[in-house]
Chain A
């Protein structure tokens, strides 16, 4: 089992461009979580998805950010018109079912730098 795979590991974007971050969950996992880690800060929950459904997006900024987890393929976190404040590490995690009673596993993160 390859674990949670994220790509790209590092991404540089100019202000105003779009950033797309991909996450392939562990085999057999149908629950995906995205977290953001700003410089010198802890992990902040962004969104929780199951296949084709957004379960909880209470941590997502209201504008420019969107996430999907299609029936086929990886989960995508999309940031439109990036600004310098979006520079952060974005971590994806997955679990086979809900967190309760289960462990969630993290990917190695995608580091976004906006110049």
Chain B
């Protein structure tokens, strides 16, 4: 079974502060991990995936297999980063399992 846990439903930071959105997963094989972002009532957009190791909008995430984590980080949060963030896992390539999501609010 595959499972994704995002322990924080809500996260609030001030503009310019560092931000870290936590994601832990459970999967017995080699997972593929993703972060998606959803701005207010819009479609989910892929933010990044671990296999590409690229940085989008200043966000990065590193897969830590020992801790089974894939935390999303940004050194300096911007107001436009306010959105819902979902961590997702693909185990075996069939479909994505999503975490519950973290609503990030960046205050001016």
A interface residues with partner B (beta carbon < 8 Å): 4, 33, 35, 41-45, 48, 55-56, 91, 93, 98-101, 103-109
Interface of B is mostly: loop
Q: Which residues of B are found within 8 Å of A108, using beta-carbon distances?
A: 42-43
Of A42, A48, A101, A106, most buried by chain B (CB within 10 Å of CB) is: A42
Given the known interface contacts A91-B44, A106-B43, A107-B43, the answer about A35 and B94 at a Cβ–Cβ threshold of 8 Å is no
B86 near A109 with CB under 8 A, answer no
Given A42-B86, A42-B99, A42-B101, A100:B43 Cβ within 8 A: no
Q: What residue in chain A is nearest B90 (Cβ atoms)?
A: A99
Residue of A nearest to B101 (CB): A42
Q: Please name 18 further chain A to chain B contacts, defined as beta carbons within 8 Å, in addition to the given A41-B100, A43-B44, A100-B32, sorted by A numbering.
A: A4-B43, A42-B98, A42-B100, A44-B98, A48-B95, A93-B44, A93-B96, A98-B93, A99-B93, A99-B94, A100-B92, A100-B93, A101-B51, A101-B93, A105-B46, A106-B36, A108-B42, A109-B43
Could you tell me the distance in whole angstroms from the C-beta of B56 to the nearest C-beta in chain A? 12
- B17-45 CB contact bits vs A (8 Å, 1 = yes)? 00000000000000010001000011111
Contact of A45 among B6, B49, B51, B97 (CB under 8 A): B97
CA distance A41 to B103 in the complex (A): 11
The interface on chain B, measured as residues whose beta carbon lies within 8 A of the other chain's beta carbons, has a size of 23
State the Cβ distance, A7 to closest chain B Cβ, in Å.
13
Query: Which B residues lie at the A interface, using CB under 8 A?
Result: 6, 32, 36, 41-46, 49, 51, 86, 90, 92-101
Residues of B within 8 A of A43 (CB): 44, 86, 98, 101
Closest to B42 in A: A108
> Cβ of A99 and Cβ of B42 under 8 Å apart?
no
Which residues from chain A contact B43 at a C-beta distance below 8 Å?
A: 4, 91, 106-109
Contacts of B6 on A, CB cut-off 8 Å? 42
Residues of B near A109 (CB, < 8 A) are 41, 43
A6 to B43, CA, bound (A): 11
Q: Select from chain B the residue with minimum beta-carbon distance to A47.
A: B95
Would you give the shortest CB distance from A93 to chain B, in whole angstroms? 8
